Amino acid sequence: MTRQKRSHHRLKRAVAPYLYLSPSLLIIGLLMLLPMVTVIAYSFQNSAVLRRDPSFAGLKHYQAIFADPVFWASLWHTLYFTCMSVVFHMTIGMVFALMLNSDRINPTLRNILRVLYILPWLFTAVIIAVIWRLLLEPNGVVNSVLMQMGIIGSKVEWFSSPETALHAVTFANIWAGYPLFMVSLLAGLQGIPKDFYEAADIDGAKAYQKLIFITIPQLMPIIISISLLDFIWTMQVFPLIWITTGGGPIYSTEVLSTYTYKLAFSSYNLSQASASAVVILLISLGLTLFYIRYQKAR
Amino acid sequence: MAEVILENICKTYGNNFRAIDQLNLSVEDGEFLILVGPSGCGKSTALRMIAGLEDITSGSLRIGGVDVVDMPPKDRDIAMVFQSYALYPHMTVSENIAFSMRLAGKPKAERKKRVDEIAKTLQLTSLLDSKPANLSGGQRQRVAMGRAMVREPAAFLMDEPLSNLDAKLRVQMRAEITSLQKQLGVTTIYVTHDQIEAMTMGDRVAVLKGGVLQQVDTPKRLYESPVNAFVAGFIGSPSMNLFEATLKGGELVFRDFAIRLQDAAFAGRPGLRSYEGRKIVFGIRPEDLYDSSLESGRKYQTIPAKVTSIEELGSEHIVHLNIDAVRVDSGDPDAVDDFGLASNAVARFEPVSAVHSGSEIRLALDDAKFHFFDPETHLAI
């Protein structure tokens, strides 16, 4: 091989990986990076999108949204909605995974339960929202059952009352989201060597001690990974809240995503909406960096 | 410390598969008993039944005089070392060792004192804060031992604890476990499929096959006087050579040659004469076969053989041979690979032997070391 041929070959080898990566990089660049950068740019412009030559606004829109009490209410609702969802997703997912992994439950029943428990995962957000709107209607099944059981005295307007609306949407979201935890934890449980439990049996461990000293520490990597992902995803939930309550009544279920949407498409204040979107982006980015660092540390 | 007594222990699974059939074993206080057998013989099942990890279908099991059949594992006063060691990866060495004390609610100071004592015995002191993932195979093995020792149990149960180690380390750990057992004096039941471990470690060895106990004896007696062809083939490496022969006029007649039997062979085995004119299984160990061209082999009678291949191990030569006789299978499922394609016998020659692959030789047989088995029952004659 001549020197020229050899250097040509070397160049081809060096360039090849980037050629393979280029289609995906192009798509990500066009569909994700470009809009992201554009939104950031909008947040610093006056009358973004609406005017052909928007002027530079500095941090004006950020100051405006930070001065808006609805923004702070939305942030608080988002945190409540997200934290409650993640905690209960994990708790319910863990309980169901432990049940499905238990030898004490008949294998046929276990298979039936496995299908039943995973059902919420099969529905899209729109269907879940519709199901829960029907169930939680003042004349719906939930009210009727609770009244018959004597738990409530009169019909509760779950989605229409400011006191209950946020809890109701959170509840619906918990119901919709636990299967991810259940499936992940079940896979994790099945990967824990049986020897660990047998050794613990011989050492005299009770069931709760096996859970605390073996099961949970063994599942910890999954619990942390899925919790972080769930946190990132739940923070951005939009359709469920939009369809059930639309952020109301009186902003009581307003979350950052609905707040941003309304700024953009109800008030047509796209610049402020962009500033709000950037805030969501920064929070998500922080969590994502935390997640990546955790994954690297493992 | 206690004796462990198994009486008519049976284990039958749901599909009517009988894993253990009428197992009777008595392990003395402080004894080191090895349960050995080929894969699937039920040895691990037997151990797990003693530990309480498998139900006992029928029979009685007493540890230290107490019937433990219906007791959960934790009440049986035993400790077990698993093949995988079952060390908790999220706990340090110290936490792993102290785990049972922690479960029992023992105070921290007491736990630390006990862990330190054990770590000193097992030379783990410098590793107490390490996680199992950072330990070598041998160190993990010692931690598993430590976890068993911390409970000061009546009996140790060990399930193939050395099978995950490399060959060199296995030799070292074999010696360590044996001396530790002697030092602690705790009754120990040790399961292995490795007959070298069985021969070198135990006070007595119980050989199992297909869930049935074949023989319990000292390693020396198992080697010298196996009760049947299976034990003869299983104990010893390479395995005993077993051939079909006919006893005719005081001679063992093979296809194309015969071996004259000394009077001593008949004197020690009164039943042997009754096989006159009948088929018999003849057995001889590789170490009782000699190269007739060497001094060591000159005094014995010889038979013709062809060398098919040689493994030169330095201290000895393992010589694979073909002799004109029909080989008999001892019934050990794990031993089929002992013989090469063209060979049906193995001999262990001194390294000075000059035989080479393909050569026709005269093979000398030590006639004081012959073994005879019934061709039907495979029982020793």
Q: Which segment of A29-43, A275-289, B322-336 scores lowest on mean pLDDT?
A: B322-336
Strand order in the sheet with B18-27: B18-27, B4-12, B58-63, B66-67
Mean pLDDT, range B36-58, rounded to an integer: 90
Q: So what CATH class is A68-297?
A: mainly alpha
Q: Does B104 touch chain A (CB under 8 A)?
A: yes
Q: With 80 as the cut, is the pLDDT of residue A297 above it?
A: no
Q: With 60 as the cut, is the pLDDT of residue B267 above it?
A: yes
Which of A182, A27, A193, A24 has its CA nearest to residue A99? A182
**What's the per-residue H, E or C state across chain A?**
CCHHHHHHHHHHHHHHHHHHHHHHHHHHHHHHHHHHHHHHHHHCECCCCCCCCCCECCCHHHHHHHHCHHHHHHHHHHHHHHHHHHHHHHHHHHHHHHHHHCCCCCHHHHHHHHHHHHHHHHCCHHHHHHHHHHHCCCCCHHHHHHHHCCCCCCCCCCCCCCCCHHHHHHHHHHHHHHHHHHHHHHHHHHCCCHHHHHHHHHHCCCHHHHHHHHHHHHHHHHHHHHHHHHHHHHHCCCHHHHHHCCCCCCCCCCCHHHHHHHHHHCCCCHHHHHHHHHHHHHHHHHHHHHHHHHHHHC
Whether B289 and B364 have beta carbons less than 8 Å apart is answered as yes
- Position A298 scores a pLDDT of 67
Answer left, alpha or beta for residue B142, where phi above 0 means left and psi between -120 and 50 means alpha.
alpha
pLDDT digits (tens, 9 = 90+) for A58-90: 788 898 888 889 899 999 999 999 999 999 999
- From the list B52, B86, B103, the residue facing A196 with the nearest CB is B86
- From the list B74, B89, B91, the residue facing A202 with the nearest CB is B74
- Position B27 scores a pLDDT of 92
pLDDT digits (tens, 9 = 90+) for A207-261: 999 999 999 999 998 998 899 889 888 988 888 888 888 877 888 888 889 999 9
- From the list A193, A204, A218, the residue facing B74 with the nearest CB is A204
Which of B99, B89, B84, B202 has its CA nearest to residue B148? B99
CB contacts, 8 Å: B53 with chain A: 198, 201-202
Mean pLDDT, range B157-174, rounded to an integer: 87
- Position B166 scores a pLDDT of 85
Mean pLDDT, range B9-29, rounded to an integer: 89
Cβ contact, residue pair B78, A202, below 8 Å: yes
CB pairs under 8 A between A and B: 56
Confidence grade of residue B207 (pLDDT, cut at 50, 70, 90): very high
Cβ contact, residue pair A195, B82, below 8 Å: yes
Q: With 70 as the cut, is the pLDDT of residue B76 above it?
A: yes
Q: Cα(B90)–Cα(A220) distance, rounded to whole angstroms?
A: 10
Q: Which of residues 123-142 of B touch A (CB under 8 A)?
A: none
Q: Does A192 touch chain B (CB under 8 A)?
A: no
Q: With 60 as the cut, is the pLDDT of residue B356 above it?
A: yes
Q: Cα(A154)–Cα(A242) distance, rounded to whole angstroms?
A: 27
Cβ contact, residue pair A202, B88, below 8 Å: no
pLDDT digits (tens, 9 = 90+) for B102-142: 988 889 999 999 999 889 888 888 999 999 999 988 889 88
Cβ contact, residue pair A204, B86, below 8 Å: no
Cβ contact, residue pair A213, B88, below 8 Å: yes
Cβ contact, residue pair A220, B90, below 8 Å: yes
Q: Looking at chain B, which residue has its C-alpha nearest residue A219? A: B90
Strand partners, B260: B251
- Position B94 scores a pLDDT of 92
- Position A146 scores a pLDDT of 86
Average pLDDT, chain B: 89
Q: Does A212 touch chain B (CB under 8 A)?
A: no
Tokens 């919790």 -> residue:
A227
Q: With 80 as the cut, is the pLDDT of residue B333 above it?
A: no
Average pLDDT, chain A: 87
Mean pLDDT, range A117-132, rounded to an integer: 86
The counts of H helices and E strands in chain B are: 9, 21
Q: Looking at chain A, which residue has its C-alpha nearest residue B149? A: A203
Question: CA-based Rg of chain A, rounded to a whole angstrom?
Answer: 25
Q: So what CATH class is B239-373?
A: mainly beta
Mean pLDDT, range B257-283, rounded to an integer: 87
Q: Is the pTM of this model over 0.90?
A: no
pLDDT digits (tens, 9 = 90+) for A162-205: 888 889 899 989 998 899 999 999 999 999 999 999 999 999 89
E strand or H helix at B59 = strand B58-63
Q: Cα(A168)–Cα(A142) distance, rounded to whole angstroms?
A: 12
Phi, psi angles (nearest 5°) of residue A193: -60, 140
E strand or H helix at B208 = strand B204-209
Strand pairing report for B187-192 and B155-159: parallel
Domain chopping of chain B, boundaries? 4-233, 239-373
- Position A1 scores a pLDDT of 59
- Position A20 scores a pLDDT of 93
Q: With 90 as the cut, is the pLDDT of residue A5 above it?
A: no
CB contacts, 8 Å: A203 with chain B: 74, 99-100, 103, 147, 151
CB contacts, 8 Å: B51 with chain A: 198, 202
- Position B280 scores a pLDDT of 92
- Position B336 scores a pLDDT of 56
Cβ contact, residue pair B103, A201, below 8 Å: no
Confidence grade of residue B340 (pLDDT, cut at 50, 70, 90): low
- Position B256 scores a pLDDT of 83
- Position B337 scores a pLDDT of 53
Which of B228, B162, B227 has its CA nearest to residue B196? B162
Q: Which segment of A157-166, B260-269, B328-337 scores lowest on mean pLDDT?
A: B328-337
Q: With 80 as the cut, is the pLDDT of residue B16 above it?
A: yes
CB contacts, 8 Å: A216 with chain B: none
- From the list A198, A203, A205, the residue facing B53 with the nearest CB is A198
Q: With 90 as the cut, is the pLDDT of residue B65 above it?
A: no
Q: With 90 as the cut, is the pLDDT of residue B263 above it?
A: no
CA angle A182, A185, A190 (to 5 degrees): 120
Cβ contact, residue pair A209, B103, below 8 Å: yes
Q: With 80 as the cut, is the pLDDT of residue B43 above it?
A: yes
Query: Sign of torsion, CA B161 B162 B163 B164?
Result: positive
CB contacts, 8 Å: A205 with chain B: 74, 103
Q: Does A199 touch chain B (CB under 8 A)?
A: yes
- Position B219 scores a pLDDT of 93
Q: Does B155 touch chain A (CB under 8 A)?
A: no
- From the list B91, B103, B151, the residue facing A205 with the nearest CB is B103
Q: Does A198 touch chain B (CB under 8 A)?
A: yes
Task: Give the residue from A192, A201, A203, A211 with the most B CB atoms within 10 Å of its CB, the best one to mutate.
Answer: A203
CATH 3.40.630.30 fits B4-233, yes or no: no
pLDDT digits (tens, 9 = 90+) for A93-116: 999 999 988 888 888 888 888 888
Q: Looking at chain B, which residue has its C-alpha nearest residue A196? A: B86
Cβ contact, residue pair B90, A203, below 8 Å: no
Cβ contact, residue pair B72, A198, below 8 Å: no
State yes or no: cis peptide before A249, omega within 30 of 0: yes
Q: With 70 as the cut, is the pLDDT of residue B1 above it?
A: no
